[in-house]
Structure 1
């Protein structure tokens, strides 16, 4: 089998990072490199030609997940005439059964939280913390510093709702958080 072009290698790398971002939010960073590579139809052996380590992939995947969230917020900003309406639109989606049931496409603040608490890699933690801070700042009401409290309510509600999915409590948690916000 011949070597892939530089453009193909870059495309493969982007596919690996995107797959990892989804898999890590859905199942945690204990997902194996082999499983990430299999998800994009590549061999495990090619991983180390693209990445220095699995932790390097985790860092890039977290950065991509927060970029995807940034794009979602930008779409909310474009769709709504003022910041308050944009926040309310995102909160409605965030506290939905759809978001609860699809963590792979969901918020990295929630989806990666437990793994970030366990990692010793400072670069990965810094990427995660920057993404969390940016989201909290976007959630803040003009002139007030309530974005962190809003973020805590959102993330706590979605995590508890996911943990109780399939029970009436799950929907109750989402509704209570929506009412509180």
Structure 2
């Protein structure tokens, strides 16, 4: 088989990053092997190292990608509520604390999906930096005054983490409901 063009190599790289962003959120970084990832996108295991220095380097890029997806989602909420951030925030909270979002781990919030894996990375690593920047972006979007609303981010991420960990039990639904009831004052 011949070498792929530069354009195809770039497209393959994008596909690997997108798949990693999804799979790392679904299964956790340690549970996704390079072979699993490359099979997911229909490429050979050997091709991985032509594109990425390591799985840790890919984690950084996948984290950036996942938070870019979140930024697109936030922009969609804004577009549905032009000039009305309170309504956009309200819709985001409704979605974020829904069973639909709870159950869509691979496409769900990267702050929740990648948090425990990023916590295990080095304190000065690029994945941690990308994660911190993404959480900051999310917190600024949630803020009514342009500062970071870290309390709301913390409640959303914590509630979703607990709801996912207890999915299939009645407690999971109660967690989502309790957080939703507690948040309206925080998002006004």
Same-fold status (TM-score > 0.5): yes
- Residue equivalent to 1:105: 107
Give per-residue Cα distances to partners, 1:137-165, cap 9 Å, x unaligned.
1111237x571000011000000000000
Aligned residues: 180
- Residue equivalent to 2:71: 70
CA distance in 2 between partners of 1:57 and 1:180 (Å): 37
Q: TM-score, normalised by structure 1?
A: 0.97
Q: CA RMSD in A?
A: 1.1
CA distance in 1 between partners of 2:67 and 2:148 (Å): 20
- Residue equivalent to 2:173: 171
Give per-residue Cα distances to partners, 1:90-144, cap 9 Å, x unaligned.
111100001100110000000000001101152110000000011011111237x
Alignment of 1:58 onto 2:59: yes
Give per-residue Cα distances to partners, 1:29-86, cap 9 Å, x unaligned.
1111111101001110000001111111000000000000000000100101301001
Residue ranges of structure 1 left out of the alignment (5+ in a row): none
Q: TM-score, normalised by structure 2?
A: 0.93
- Residue equivalent to 1:96: 98
Alignment of 1:117 onto 2:111: no
Query: 3-state DSSP class of the match of 2:93?
Result: helix
- Residue equivalent to 1:152: 154
